[in-house]
Amino acid sequence: MKPISLTRYLIEEQHAGRINADLRLLIEVVARACKSISIAIGKGALGGVLGEAGTGNIQGEAQKKLDVLSNDILLEANAWGGHLAGLASEEMDHSQPIPDAFQRGNYLLLFDPLDGSSNIDVNISVGTIFSVLRCPDGVTSPGDEHFLQPGSTQVCAGYTTYGPSTMLVLTVGHGTHVFTLDREVGSFMLTGRGVQIPADTKEFAVNMSNQRFWEEPMQRYVGDLLKGKEGPRGKDFNMRWVASMVADVHRIITRGGIFSYPLDSKCRDKGGKLRLMYEANPMAFIVEQAGGAASTGRQRMLDVQPTGLHQRVPVFLGSRNEVAEAVRYHHESDQGA
Ligand SMILES: O=P(O)(O)OC[C@H]1O[C@](O)(COP(=O)(O)O)[C@@H](O)[C@@H]1O
Ligand SMILES: [Mg+2]
Ligand SMILES: [Mg+2]
């Protein structure tokens, strides 16, 4: 049977009363912007888009040309036709309210316009991550503080991967669905409805070069994974690390696994490496909707009360039984076991 398009899927969701027209159109605008980003990335060196932009973002990270370009594409698309009250990005110091004249909706959009930037120049998958929140009642010109809502209040989250094929993975709170971009037609087509992450896994994803900087429970947890069949876990584990969160999470959505970016002594003062509002929370929502779990190691990710737009957190997500194991090591350690 021919897959249905994203547009058709969203219309069906609206008819079923699960989303309203504003959210449907907002998702369409984001998806269209992601198609433009996909085209720019696909041109590679021919499009003059590789390399450094020569600027830095609020996090002190050097921006790539594609970080800036992707941010501009998402900004322009959403400011003019986004059905939004405000938006916030990894690449912008503060959120931006949408001017009254353009404001047609009551949603707040957050995004990591280009995730995995370090992989752009080596032609490895990168992506875009986004999260949609409701603008609090009565707020007409939202500021940063209005975005600081726990992940459990998200109404939609998604990511795209720009890899051998461009894919969009989306949830509006009724399962996680996978769409593949048909480049000739120019539409995202539904190729995986209601995907489920296996509860158990034999695969983990972590940047092992940070091992000596990790906390004790993480050292013990990974140490036991590495002991394989002969160790307490009784099975051999495989390891993968793309260093693009979208690509690592997409593998987990597809075949299971655990992804972690734990606390370490290098990022401890910042709270972690990955960003809560536009990396961890949207991925946590997507993963939970696919039957998986997401935690900081000590707390369900979606329950974290944000304190800053660019707040960082430790992340463990994926196959639910494996995430529970990682959390168990942290609890044991915290309780002095
Ligand atoms: O280079 P490291 O320390 O392994 O970190 C990789 C992680 O950093 C990130 O690249 C951060 O994302 P950005 O490219 O958006 O800054 C994640 O995608 C990835 O999981
Ligand atoms: Mg990122
Ligand atoms: Mg980024």
Question: Which amino acid residue places its CA nearest to atom 10 of ligand 1?
Answer: 116
The protein residue with its alpha carbon nearest to ligand 1, atom 3, reads 207
pLDDT of residue 55: 80
Residues of the chain where predicted confidence (pLDDT) is lower than 70 = 81-82, 101-104, 337
Question: How many A from CA of 93 to the centre of ligand 3?
Answer: 13
Residue 126 CA, ligand 1 centroid: distance in Å: 10
Q: For residue 252, what pLDDT is reported?
A: 98
What is the 3 state secondary structure string of the chain? CCCCEHHHHHHHHHHCCCCCHHHHHHHHHHHHHHHHHHHHHHHHHHHCCCCEEEEECCCCCEEEHHHHHHHHHHHHHHHHHCCEEEEEECCCCCCEECCCCCCCCCEEEEEEEEECHHHHHHCCCEEEEEEEEECCCCCCCCCHHHHCCCHHHCCEEEEEEECCCEEEEEECCCCEEEEEEECCCCEEEEEECCCCCCCCCCEEECCHHHHHHECHHHHHHHHHHHCHHHCCCCCCCEECCCCCHHHHHHHHHHHCCEEEECCECCCHHHCCCEEHHHHHHHHHHHHHHCCCEEECCCCEHHHCCCCCCCCEECEEEECHHHHHHHHHHHHHHHCCC
pLDDT of residue 149: 98
- In the chain the domains, ranked by start, together with CATH numbers, are 6-192 (3.30.540.10), 203-334 (3.40.190.80)
Rounded to whole angstroms, what are the CA distances from 90 to 60, 79, 94, 111, 186?
A: 11, 16, 9, 7, 27
Q: How far is the CA of 112 from the centre of ligand 3 (A)?
A: 5
> Can you give the pLDDT at residue 82?
57
pTM of the model: 0.96
> Ligand 1: residues within 6 Å at CB?
90, 112, 115-118, 207, 243-245, 261
pLDDT for res 103: 58
pLDDT of residue 101: 61
pLDDT score of 81: 67
**Which residue out of 63, 270, 274 has the highest number of ligand 1 atoms within 8 Å of its CB and is therefore the one to mutate?**
274
Going along 101-257, which residue ranges are E strands?
107-115, 126-134, 156-162, 166-171, 176-182, 187-192, 203-205, 238-239
At 99 the pLDDT is 76
Question: pLDDT value at position 336?
Answer: 84
Ligand 2 centroid to residue 118 C-alpha, Å: 10
Q: What is the predicted pLDDT for the residue at 98? A: 86
117, 119, 214: residue to mutate for ligand 1 pocket, most atoms within 8 A of CB: 117
Closest by alpha carbon to 284, among 168, 197, 161?
A: 197
Q: What is the pLDDT of residue 50?
A: 82
